[in-house]
Amino acid sequence: MDDASLLEILDETSSAIRGALGDLDDWGLAGTRDGQYRSDLAADAAALEVLGRAGLGVLSEESGRHRPDAEITVVMDPLDGSTNASRGIPWFATSLCAVDGDGPRAALVINLASGTRFEAVRGSGATCDGVALTPSGSTVLLESIVALSGFPPRWLGWKQFRALGACALDLCAVAAGVVDGYLDCSWNAHGSWDYLGGLLVCQEAGATSSTCTAGTWSPSSTTTAARRSRRRRRNSCRRWSRSGAP
């Protein structure tokens, strides 16, 4: 399957999700597991139908692994920022990242409140609504506005911060230069479905990523950043995406 065909399937998946959510009356908690909303389940079901017809594997936050032997697996959060969505905060998204044997290959992240779409293909750059993305270029934390997930036990030196509540969109905001960086300070809040799409958008736009533990940052390869550190230390910031070179 070529990249264009793969992006078409991701786009069809996102359209199915938007349609399912448009028909939904109750966006509240589903009562299935902690933090899972009815909107999560509706979005997941719509996505699985499209990806199943395409014969692609799936790793979903909501329903786990499907067709694990497929050559391409779509790692997805069908509704990233579902708490925002349930409260009417217009910062929630569908995040889809197609992964092959060489790693993340193609990504589509769509802000479902605004329709803004971020796309990336490995080795071919990243766009927002068809326009090439350019990070802010800031490389000094003291001069940077950063998006946070979770909160560290102390100030880590940023100029200002924003807690926006949707990892995939937060990362895309770095790629677009809306914020200068993103710090994941949560110890277990995110899985690969939350960040892989936004991470590929960042990397193809020219932003860099690192992992860190207990406040010590170290540059990392794409693979290391995507797989996340296995260390589960509370109150340590483990991912730092920023606009400039290390």
Domain extent listing, the chain: 3-130, 141-242
Residue 224 has pLDDT above 80, yes or no: no
What angle, 0 to 180 degrees and rounded to 10, lies between the N-to-C axes of helices 192-205 and 167-175?
A: 0
How large is the average pLDDT for residues 25-29? 83
Q: In sequence order, what are the beta bridge partners of 131? A: 128
Confidence of residue 212 (pLDDT cuts 50, 70, 90): low
pLDDT at 239 over 90: no
Instruction: Fold for 141-242, please state it.
Output: D-Maltodextrin-Binding Protein; domain 2 (3.40.190)
Give the pLDDT band of residue 23 (cuts 50, 70, 90): confident
Query: For the chain, how long is the longest CA-to-CA vector?
Result: 49
- Band (pLDDT 50/70/90 cuts) for residue 78 is very high
pTM, two decimals, is 0.83
Query: Is residue 211 within 8 Å of residue 239, measured between CB atoms?
Result: yes
Phi, psi of 149 (to 5 degrees): -120, 125
* Domain 3-130: CATH superfamily, name plus number: Fructose-1,6-Bisphosphatase, subunit A, domain 1 (3.30.540.10)
* pLDDT for res 237: 36
Q: What is the CA radius of gyration of the chain?
A: 17
Q: Calculate mean pLDDT across residues 153-162.
A: 90
32-55 average pLDDT score: 92
Q: What percent of the chain is modeled with pLDDT above 90?
A: 64
- Residue 98 pLDDT grade (very low, low, confident, very high; cuts 50, 70, 90): very high
Please say if the pLDDT value at position 217 is more than 80.
Answer: no
Q: Is the pLDDT of residue 70 over 70?
A: yes
Residue 188, pLDDT score? 72
Q: What is the pLDDT of residue 209?
A: 82
Q: Describe the crossing of helices 3-22 and 38-53 by its angle, rounded to 10 degrees.
A: 140
Residue 25 vs residues 3, 6, 28: alpha-carbon distances, Å:
36, 31, 9
* Strand ranges, E, within 174-222: 181-184, 208-213, 216-219
Cβ contacts of residue 2 below 8 Å, gap of 6+? none
Q: Is the pLDDT of residue 196 over 80?
A: yes
Do the first three CATH levels of 3-130 and 141-242 match, i.e. the same topology? no
pLDDT at residue 236 is higher than 60 = no
